[in-house]
Structure 1
Amino acid sequence: MDAGTTAGLRIAASVVVPLVKRLLLPRAGPGAEFGERPVRLGRLLSFTGDRRTLSEADLYQLARELVRRAVRAAGPHDPPIAPDEQNAVGYALGHTLRALGDLDMDDVQAFDLGPQRLAAALVRASAPETRALLSADAAHLHDRLLVTACLHLVHQFSKRPGFAARTQVELRRALGEQQEQLRLLLERLPATAVEDTDFERRYAHYVVGQHRTLSIHGVDLHDAQSQAWPLETAYLSLEAVPARDPAEPVPGSGTGYSDGDGGGADPDPDSERTTGPVEAALAGHDRVLLRGVAGTGKTTLVQWLALTTARQDGVPGHLPQLLGRVPFVLPLRTLAREDAELPMPDGFLRWIGCPLTGTEPAGWAVRVLQAGRGVLLIDGVDEIPEAERPRARAWLAKLHAAFPGNLWLVTTRPSALPRDWLGREGFREFTLTPMRPHDVRRFVRRWHEAAGGGEELAATLLRSVRASPELSHLATNPLLCSLICALHRERRGFLPQGRVALYEAALSMLLERRDRERDLYGRLPPKLDEKSATEPLKRFAYWLIRNERTRLERETAVDLLDRLRPSVPQLARAGSAEDVLRLLLDRSGLLREPADDAVDFIHRTFQDFLGAKAALEEHDIGALVAHAHLDPWEDVLQMAVAQARPDERAELLTRLTGRADREEDDGVRTRLRLLALASLDQATRLDPDVRAVVEERAAQLLP
């Protein structure tokens, strides 16, 4: 059997059906859609008429996806066409499928024709000269894909409500023969297909339940259940650019080498550093490494992709490659907690704690990936220790080599990984950009709608943000924007200025003011006030930073509390270390319990802020400088500069610049100098001589 035929048959059942279904409008309930008269094809198609849900661009994108899947299904050793012919075949196939709307026939007539003759009719109706421009191999693949699509189209016609009643008596025998042929063809699937399909339905239900809601940061973080809102409402599509080198400075960036537009050479000569929706990057590339600073929405994007893929009926027209796929959300922070080997596919469900573990058909995950039907969402490479990242990279490379053709998204903070960390595996890198003014407006209105804040309060906040350059600079990612919304509502329009003031106000709101103002304790004082509650949180944060971890084992948290209680009387009066830990988990709004034996912060930014405060109190300026070249310490150092006294700030930046001068590694020296420059934004008061030295060193690097 030749390559084109093989591709057509191998992709027929597992891949084509979800894509072909997009060509048709959704079916109504039995007896609710059409009567007993045959239905013109134009009324059934999703890309014609008044009810269209698929644009012409979506149709051509869908056709190109069919071609890509056919080529992947044929395998790398026997491709049916040359790589540079894929777009031509996709265009020709889209042009041919568009002719469905021009055929002068109804659903019964199309079914009676059968897939071969229906495909021939489409070629005749779509101007055969388009197909004639293809090479012989490309034309053959076009024809096989067209016949396969028509096979499933006529099968879908037969399943629509009232179809049997619309068939003529003289066609009943032919109809029976066609249905039998279709049944036999569909039965050629492996015996495990039915079991796999049944399990995938249950697994999709689980994924939807896990990811359909999102907590509103800053509203009531210790009562997330009552403040969860639908992800479809919460999701805000942000923009991304092809990633720059981590050492390349970005004007106006908060870190000196993360987000932004312009600058830098891209190794791909066909790539331009243009900004666009992050979904466009995913639509155009099946392997993406996405960089973004804390709070930019990387994990929310992972959730949205998992939810969209699991639901299937909600897949947008510009992402047809999600149709027929199975999502696997794999947060790498789990590795740091378990210190275990990363799993192969048969261990995915057990690794993420899925309750369906053990009920899946044997070898199911492997079959999904072998068919190229997986969407692997690898979240948070930066949240595992740096020493573990080479092992994580080897794991990703091994999986990619064994299971080509799947969709991949890997997320990380910008500076955690070197440029082209997965370049050999063909991953394209993109960086999330800060929210633009129109994004902020949309986010603020959605937040207030979900939180019950009202349109007037939202409008007042937006006027404040527009009038304050400081607030405009802060409201550049969803996390900080949500904190601003929460504080604006809680403080009746009074907003703190500056990043440190914002976090200090958030701590005050979450640790004490909210419970006091709700009269939670009546006339009694709270068990922990803000200052007493902050003490263990600082110790937790600094322990996590020093040990390159994102989670505390519960036993470690209790031990830290036990050692701290004698020096903080209010902690001792609040009960045992276990009692205090439970109180912090229940009421602080900053800690959570992702597993029975683990504790972590709701967001890394709070950990960095509190850890920096602890480092300053411990007089650990030497430790801050010694670790400044490591990405987990980057934001910690900037937070320390922001919170330090003027003399501490001057010492910290002087020692950081001195270390850079002595550094022999050019990359580390550049990184330290740019970090010192970026930290000047956080220095409210600083010795002019120190500032001049930092700027002079940075000037050697910048044009």
Structure 2
Amino acid sequence: MEPALIGMRLASSAIGPMLKKLLVSDGPGAGLPGPSGAIRLSSLVSFRGEKRTLTEKDVRKLAKTLVERSSGGNGEPPFPADETEAVTDALARTLLALGDLDMDDAQAVRLGHRDLARRLRTAAPAPDGLSTDSGLYLESLTEWACLHILEFFTQRSTFVARSLVEQTRGQAELLAKMDEVIRRTPRGDSRDADFERRYLEHLAKKHGRLTIYGIDLHHSPDRWPLDLAYLSLEATGSGETPVPDETGPLREQSLRADLALSRHDKVLLRGLAGSGKTTLVQWLTVSAATEGGVATGARANAVATGARANAVATGARANAVAAGARANAVAAGARTDAVAAGARTDGMAYLRGRIPFVLPLRALTRHGERLPAPDRFLPAAGCPLTPPEGWVDRVLSAGRGLVLVDGIDEIPEVERGRAREWLRSLLDSYEGNRWLVTSRPTAVRDDWLAGDGFTELTLSPMTRTEVATFVRRWHRAAGPEAEPYEQPLLDALRTAEHVAQLATNPLMCGLICALHRDRRGFLPRGRRALYEAALSMLLARRDRERDMGAPSGIALDEAPQIQLVQRLAYWLTLNGRTQLDRSHAESLVREAVPAVQEAAQYPPEKVFTHLLHRSGLLREPTEDTVDFVHRTFQDYLAAKALVDRWDIGVLVGHAADDQWEDVIRMAVGHARPRECAEILEELLKAADAAVNRRAQLRILLLAATALDHATEVSPEVRERVLARTAEVIPPRTPAEARELAGVGRLVLDLLPGPEGLSDEEAQMVVTAATHVASDAAIPYLARFAGPSALQARSQLMWGWSRFDTEQYAEEIIARLDPDELYYTVTDDEQAAALVRLGLRPETLDIRAGVTERGFACLGPLLPALRGLRLLGDHDGHPTLHALAALRLPRMEDLMLEVGPDGPPFRLIAAAFPHLRGLSLLLYTDADAPWDVTSLAPLRELEELFVTAGNVELTGVEHLPPDITIIA
């Protein structure tokens, strides 16, 4: 039933006074007393506060009258008659929730009656068992009631007076914002804003599509919209948590990788080949381009009204206010459009107004040239647009840039120091921008950019949930013909260990999906077999199965094509490059063609064109350059070429070079038994000759990892490699632990059990095992689930998200000693598992992945909580509202991540009356001082810890005199 129809049945003249009973009347004035000047709804309702005139029973009678009168009359009843009592009870609870909303009358009016009704329905307990008709009727009746309630608010004298005061304040703030916008747009030049719109549109088109490898079979396109294909991954950092905790250095911090720059201005992001680093750069670019269009529109309007801004300087303030109001309206309209057009960029609003500069180092230095100055950013990155003179300098000087430096590892090691100096000169010249640098994990040392203020994060391997999500998206993108293969592959990922071991990053997941469909549900075993099958699919079967014949006039089998393209891979790897000039690539193929019998019958230039356009392995980033579609294929083919040439000295000579790690592993996989043994023996000798422990550890781990790729190797050589690897176990630092985990499940046979380990050693070996991407780690970790140190138990808890939820919960979580342990819950499955196991933890650490459904599962655990952490990328305030209704009696410690506007102190004080410790985390500077006066009722509060940049606390004198404040 629509609200309009309800209004026809309910005469406003009769029902209006009835609803007005819900509210109290105040005297004249602006209603400014109080710390914030706001009049909260809880003080305006007549069933709460000092002016209480209605009881809860009265409100229920009022609801009954509303239901009876609005559902009466002729025509079909709006809902089943036997649900009248349930509908009445639900409406009463909804109206009573009016007193629980943490807002004032002005805020309610700004919301509008529909949004206010939604807030009421959210705050009220959800009705159970109502039919669809009853639910729709209740929604409509609530909206109609809210329409009258807002009308009453606007008629209050205090509302009108305070609205005028707020309007005056708003105009002053608007003038200040306009002045800042004009300051950031020198000389009122509209050319900058016009160019920015064109530039952002160019970036959105250039980076807005993503290649999904292998999906280009059977008439399917090989590139898909980024917002459909992108999968947000987690990134972890190994620094100490900024929160005081009795456990000392706590576990790694985790956050969504695409939100890392919302917390940190400068980030060095590490990730393995295929882990999604470049895709993340694309996502940030497109998100900034989408959000940036909003701010660009506002700036263009500000420039257009530059003359009015000049009037401010000459004293014409009124005109400036009017002009500012118009600009604000334009900006508000632009924001609305952006929300409609860019809702897909969930959580990416922090990029609003940022101008991205994508700087792929592999392309910028392919000729060994100097890295570009800002005025050369666009042409160096291949952008065809010509900006106004000095535009890049103005953007960076204003702190509006998003500088994305992709691929430190893709330039030769000797050039990386020069790249760091180039980056430092930019940092010294331009403040306030956001900076992201990507690299393979071991390309640069841990503190390579630490002195420049960079936070180091590492992309995590995909969890089983993320892999399942990727598989579903892949099959949805591939079309109806792929649908029958989706569920069998999901089943294989759960039951076939060799498949699950490979599905750790987007590239490998894409290949597995493509091969599974291409082979009608059968997959090769092992990484080498997977790549061989992928090459066969791309080189020999793709055109044939698409019935394309020989579109280039050349028909080559798989083997000769591999012989030719591996020449390119060999040259690139040997020279530390991932890209080469087209002319050079063509000359390499021309030299090789006469020796390849099947290809020798064709002109070399046609063979090269065929490889470039039909192999599926090569691409042209620009008109004059060539590279492989992914670095992994280059490494695989380079390893094959090195083994064919038997350049073992070249292999071992690069054992400490991070760019060669995958090449060496794959070379061991390509090698015959005698050759394999020789490579491994030479690696052990190289480890002995290493100049430091870090280099030695890297080479030993490389040997152990390579051992797992070998098809056949003598037992003696295997034992020597394993014995040498045991020398670096147990690991001594978290970084060493993660490096050991890179060996894979093999390391589980080397890690010691809990017996005889110190607390620190136990924590390190558990850290290593929880990073092994295999459920085979669960039985090993279960040995630590009994009595153990808090640090080890905390790491076991944190590792839950990397494994099968149910198995890990039953074998480890259920057996953990709960003493002082925070039970971390990162998603709804874990929340349900905690309850299903019958656990009753007194401390919970709830992360952003827990939805309303997850909180509903945790409901039975909440009343007994003594400690609670609400951390992650979500806004914890809605959660606090839900918890406030419970009035948790035992809650003593609360840790909350907040936004720049500050925490809801009043709500915290009301929800947790016996709080003893409060920690507030904010990873950027606060927008305004925080008034803690509302915490005065917490007389048991002993410690207030605040990490929020340079936040200023006011009202501290109202807190208990013996409280400890750390800010």
**For the Cα contact (< 8 Å) 1:368–1:374, is it kept in 2?**
yes
Q: CA deviation at 1:663?
A: 2.9
Between the aligned partners of 1:571 and 1:529, the Cα distance in structure 2 is: 9
Between the aligned partners of 2:184 and 2:691, the Cα distance in structure 1 is: 64
TM-score, normalised by the number of residues in structure 2 = 0.52
2:173 counterpart letter in structure 1: T
Q: CA deviation at 1:239?
A: 0.9
Measured against aligned partners, the alpha-carbon deviations of 1:314-365 in whole angstroms (never above 9, x if no partner) come to: 37564443111111111111133232111121111111121112xx222111
How many residues are matched? 537
Q: CA deviation at 1:492?
A: 0.7
SS at match of 2:202: helix
The equivalent of 1:488 in structure 2 is 516
SS at match of 1:354: coil
Measured against aligned partners, the alpha-carbon deviations of 1:25-50 in whole angstroms (never above 9, x if no partner) come to: xxxxxxxxxxxxxx976465599636
**For the Cα contact (< 8 Å) 2:217–2:542, is it kept in 1?**
no
- For residue 365 of structure 2, the aligned residue among 336, 339, 347 is 336
The equivalent of 1:545 in structure 2 is 573
- For residue 446 of structure 1, the aligned residue among 473, 476, 481 is 473
**For the Cα contact (< 8 Å) 1:329–1:377, is it kept in 2?**
yes
Between the aligned partners of 1:638 and 1:535, the Cα distance in structure 2 is: 20
Between the aligned partners of 1:403 and 1:102, the Cα distance in structure 2 is: 51
The equivalent of 2:116 in structure 1 is 49
Between the aligned partners of 2:151 and 2:346, the Cα distance in structure 1 is: 22
1:276 counterpart letter in structure 2: L
**For the Cα contact (< 8 Å) 2:258–2:280, is it kept in 1?**
no
Larger radius of gyration: 2
Within a 5 Å distance, the mapping from 1:224-243 to structure 2 comes to: 226-242=221-237
The equivalent of 1:210 in structure 2 is 206
**For the Cα contact (< 8 Å) 1:222–1:589, is it kept in 2?**
no
2:592 counterpart letter in structure 1: L
Between the aligned partners of 1:50 and 1:646, the Cα distance in structure 2 is: 73
Within a 5 Å distance, the mapping from 1:152-163 to structure 2 comes to: none
Measured against aligned partners, the alpha-carbon deviations of 1:11-37 in whole angstroms (never above 9, x if no partner) come to: xxxxxxxxxxxxxxxxxxxxxxxxxxx
SS at match of 2:427: helix
Between the aligned partners of 2:202 and 2:551, the Cα distance in structure 1 is: 45
2:438 counterpart letter in structure 1: T
Structure 2, unpaired ranges of 5+: 1-104, 124-149, 242-247, 292-337, 731-967
Measured against aligned partners, the alpha-carbon deviations of 1:556-591 in whole angstroms (never above 9, x if no partner) come to: 222222221221121111x22211111001110000
Between the aligned partners of 2:179 and 2:635, the Cα distance in structure 1 is: 60
Within a 5 Å distance, the mapping from 1:421-500 to structure 2 comes to: 421-452=448-479, 453-500=481-528
The equivalent of 1:286 in structure 2 is 265
Between the aligned partners of 1:280 and 1:302, the Cα distance in structure 2 is: 12
Between the aligned partners of 1:662 and 1:345, the Cα distance in structure 2 is: 43
**For the Cα contact (< 8 Å) 2:199–2:385, is it kept in 1?**
yes
The equivalent of 1:196 in structure 2 is 192
The equivalent of 2:817 in structure 1 is none
**For the Cα contact (< 8 Å) 1:227–1:451, is it kept in 2?**
no
Between the aligned partners of 1:188 and 1:563, the Cα distance in structure 2 is: 56
2:490 counterpart letter in structure 1: L
Between the aligned partners of 2:532 and 2:406, the Cα distance in structure 1 is: 29
- For residue 386 of structure 1, the aligned residue among 405, 413, 417 is 413
- For residue 600 of structure 2, the aligned residue among 554, 572, 590 is 572
Cα 1:445–1:559 shift into 2, 3 Å:
same
Q: CA deviation at 1:400?
A: 0.8
Within a 5 Å distance, the mapping from 1:590-669 to structure 2 comes to: 590-669=617-696
SS at match of 2:708: helix
2:620 counterpart letter in structure 1: E
Q: CA deviation at 1:519?
A: 3.2
Within a 5 Å distance, the mapping from 1:124-139 to structure 2 comes to: none
Cα 1:454–1:615 shift into 2, 3 Å:
closer
Cα 1:563–1:430 shift into 2, 3 Å:
same
SS at match of 1:519: coil
Q: Which moved more, 1:435-444 or 1:507-516?
A: 507-516
Between the aligned partners of 2:683 and 2:484, the Cα distance in structure 1 is: 47
Between the aligned partners of 2:575 and 2:187, the Cα distance in structure 1 is: 50
Cα 1:328–1:102 shift into 2, 3 Å:
farther
Measured against aligned partners, the alpha-carbon deviations of 1:496-528 in whole angstroms (never above 9, x if no partner) come to: 110000000001111012222333228999611
2:629 counterpart letter in structure 1: I
2:664 counterpart letter in structure 1: L
Cα 1:362–1:410 shift into 2, 3 Å:
same
Cα 1:579–1:522 shift into 2, 3 Å:
closer
**For the Cα contact (< 8 Å) 1:282–1:288, is it kept in 2?**
yes
Measured against aligned partners, the alpha-carbon deviations of 1:346-396 in whole angstroms (never above 9, x if no partner) come to: 111111121112xx2221111111111111111111111111111110011
SS at match of 1:49: helix
SS at match of 1:594: coil
1:191 counterpart letter in structure 2: R
The equivalent of 1:92 in structure 2 is none
Q: CA deviation at 1:550?
A: 0.9
Cα 1:478–1:270 shift into 2, 3 Å:
same
**For the Cα contact (< 8 Å) 2:214–2:222, is it kept in 1?**
no
Within a 5 Å distance, the mapping from 1:523-562 to structure 2 comes to: 527-562=555-590
**For the Cα contact (< 8 Å) 2:106–2:163, is it kept in 1?**
no
Cα 1:188–1:432 shift into 2, 3 Å:
closer
1:377 to 2:404 alignment: yes
SS at match of 2:205: helix
**For the Cα contact (< 8 Å) 1:306–1:329, is it kept in 2?**
yes
**For the Cα contact (< 8 Å) 2:552–2:610, is it kept in 1?**
no
SS at match of 1:429: strand
The equivalent of 2:168 in structure 1 is 117
The equivalent of 1:168 in structure 2 is none
SS at match of 2:524: coil
Query: Higher relative contact order by CA 8 Å / sep ≥ 6: 1 or 2?
Result: 1
Cα 1:436–1:183 shift into 2, 3 Å:
closer
Within a 5 Å distance, the mapping from 1:682-697 to structure 2 comes to: 682-697=709-724
Between the aligned partners of 1:652 and 1:187, the Cα distance in structure 2 is: 63
SS at match of 2:600: helix
Q: CA deviation at 1:196?
A: 1.5
TM-score, normalised by the number of residues in structure 1 = 0.71
Between the aligned partners of 1:604 and 1:223, the Cα distance in structure 2 is: 26
**For the Cα contact (< 8 Å) 2:258–2:284, is it kept in 1?**
no
Cα 1:399–1:110 shift into 2, 3 Å:
farther
Q: Which moved more, 1:665-674 or 1:388-397?
A: 665-674
RMSD across aligned positions (CA): 3.3
The equivalent of 2:378 in structure 1 is 349
2:256 counterpart letter in structure 1: P
1:283 counterpart letter in structure 2: S
Between the aligned partners of 2:409 and 2:691, the Cα distance in structure 1 is: 25
Cα 1:294–1:222 shift into 2, 3 Å:
farther
Cα 1:594–1:185 shift into 2, 3 Å:
closer
1:628 counterpart letter in structure 2: A
Q: Which moved more, 1:232-241 or 1:551-560?
A: 551-560
The equivalent of 1:148 in structure 2 is 173
Structure 1, unpaired ranges of 5+: 1-38, 57-100, 120-145, 153-181, 245-260, 263-268
